[in-house]
Amino acid sequence: MKTIALPDGTTVPALGQGTWMMAEDADRHAAEIAALRTGIDLGMTLIDTAEMYADGESERLVGEAITGRREDVFLVSKAYPQNASRTRLPQACEASLRRLGTDRLDLYLLHWRGGVPLVETVEAMGRLVDAGKVLRWGVSNLDTDEMEELIAAGGKACATDQILYNLTRRGPEHDLLPWLATHTIPVMAYSPVEQGRLVADAELCSLATDLGATPAQVALAWLLAQNNVIAIPKAGRSAHVHDNRAAADLVLAPDTLARLDGLYPRPRCRAPLEML
């Protein structure tokens, strides 16, 4: 499994597991627990969740899945922007820790930019690190100008920017990705197969057939071929997890990468960072 180095030198797998839209149906509970555990077994040990997902039930699901295996997992969660203040962030963090059944997060993210000044969020994150509740912190859905503001607010310890990035969402390549690379901040790509829509893309299906792979595997392999990118696909079934894991072993040749560039070119000019 390819690994990505965080700014503090910690390495994480380039292919992790997302949990957005999990824990929303009790009938899928057992299958989702099994899927997360299968991913851990296969080396996809970075698991991303958030207090927002299923109103905290996603965190509870992850907590159940990692019971007895906490030391095997790099655990990521995210705080609502309205909870990113000096007084509310510690409370939000404690609530997430209770739902996850753990005493610390490996990475805690600001989910998106809200009304709380970044300087206050940076201070609150630092206090959580000092208290040992959070080992490192980062952000999500922040564009280039906001990242510059974050650094100016004292946020040089930011460990990642989790953004919407996939074959059909290549806008960040204009300036955000180069800016992050300059500051040695890796990207965490959510919705790497566009919430499943890429799987039905006729052009991608044709290319995948030529490679003897699935469209999702090609989309994930393209992301994994980029520098300093961590992909966090969601999979609610163990079979789906196995399919995703195979993408980490799929090496795309230069002509295939060129073909993908032709099919899914990046926008000609810069646009604001997109969100889902």
Could you read off the pLDDT of 112-137 as tens digits, one per residue? Answer: 999 999 999 999 999 999 999 999 99
Check: pTM over 0.95? Answer yes or no.
yes
First to last CA, the chain: 28
Q: Encode pLDDT of 181-232 as tens digits.
A: 999 999 999 999 999 999 999 999 999 999 999 999 999 999 999 999 999 9
Instruction: Give residue 160's pLDDT band: very low, low, confident or very high (50, 70, 90).
Output: very high
Q: Which residues does the annotation mark as catalytic?
A: 53
Overall average pLDDT of the 252-262 stretch: 97
Helix or strand run (H / E) with residue 13 = strand 11-13
Helix, strand, or coil (residue 99)? helix
The whole-angstrom separation of Cα 76 and Cα 259 is 34
Q: Is the dihedral of CA 53, 57, 60, 61 positive or negative?
A: negative
Amino acid at 226: Q
- What is the maximal distance between C-alpha atoms in the chain? 55
Q: Which fold has domain 10-195+226-236?
A: TIM Barrel (3.20.20)
In this prediction, residue 122 carries a pLDDT of 98
Q: Encode pLDDT of 6-65 as tens digits.
A: 999 999 999 999 999 999 999 999 999 999 999 999 999 999 999 999 999 999 999 999
Overall average pLDDT of the 80-89 stretch: 98
Contact indicator for 36, 60 with CB cutoff of 8 Å: no
In this prediction, residue 45 carries a pLDDT of 98
CA dihedral angle for residue 5, residue 8, residue 10, residue 15, rounded to 10 degrees: -40
